[in-house]
Chains A and B, each alone.
Chain A
Amino acid sequence: DTGVSQDPRHKITKRGQNVTFRCDPISEHNRLYWYRQTLGQGPEFLTYFQNEAQLEKSRLLSDRFSAERPKGSFSTLEIQRTEQGDSAMYLCASLSNLPPPYSGANVLTFGAGSRLTVL
């Protein structure tokens, strides 16, 4: 499988617990992104990595959220002390060049997402 893999696909947890999601991007893609999508909304950018460096974080990423990409390959997104408002789909994507006829354009390839439900 050469796509973006996310694990777990579904997670149900109680408020206050910690959860961790993993993303394995397409192997040759240097840039990895995390987005969050709540019901009826479009995805919202959280953070991204260039190799192992975290280059940008959205104001949506509170102190309870931490993301890592230690070896520049897979990434983890941890949420500490989960709240009901954290219930959402967490999407991972990697960035690549688009082939012709596109010129100088990139595209995000998304994984299937990890759905979090906080009770």
Chain B
Amino acid sequence: SQELEQSPQSLIVQEGKNLTINCTSSKTLYGLYWYKQKYGEGLIFLMMLQKGGEEKSHEKITAKLDEKKQQSSLHITASQPSHAGIYLCGADLMNYGGSQGNLIFGKGTKLSVKP
């Protein structure tokens, strides 16, 4: 079974609309990473969350980690065509006290933004 579940699998939104992507685990997440991937390319780091209840923002993207550290959400406000791509959550499921880089990833959410 998939240790990190992402939902939805794909999303089509009209430009300007808000959207939310979720990442859920049955295990405690000791470090939760959000990456963006353009088709056929590498992963671009967006944000990282460590503490329960933590929230971080970068431009129009906000990521949150719930208090139990088992679910994270990524929210995009006023989406633009440049937001299109695949959003991946990755996590440390072991408490190393700092990521060892051996991450578990979800399957990704494919976002399309219609102009």
Contacts and interface: CB of A to CB of B under 8 A. Distances in A.
A81 B101 CA distance: 29
Interface residues of A, number: 29
Contacts of B4: 42
B41 A112 contact: yes
Contacts of A89: 40
B50 interface: yes
A33 B101 contact: yes
A40 B37 CA distance: 12
A106 B42 contact: no
A115 B37 CA distance: 14
Contacts of A45: 102-104
A42 B89 CA distance: 9
B42 A91 contact: yes
Interface string A1-23: 00010000000000000000000
A43 to B, nearest CB: 5
Given A42-B88, A42-B107, A45-B102, A104 B40 contact: no
A1 B4 CA distance: 33
A91 B43 contact: yes
7 contacts: A41-B108, A42-B107, A91-B42, A107-B99, A108-B101, A110-B43, A112-B41
Smallest CB-CB A-B distances: 8 pairs: A42-B105, A110-B42, A110-B43, A106-B99, A95-B101, A112-B42, A45-B102, A43-B105
Given A41-B108, A106-B101, 8 more contacts: A44-B105, A56-B102, A105-B50, A105-B99, A106-B98, A108-B103, A110-B42, A110-B43
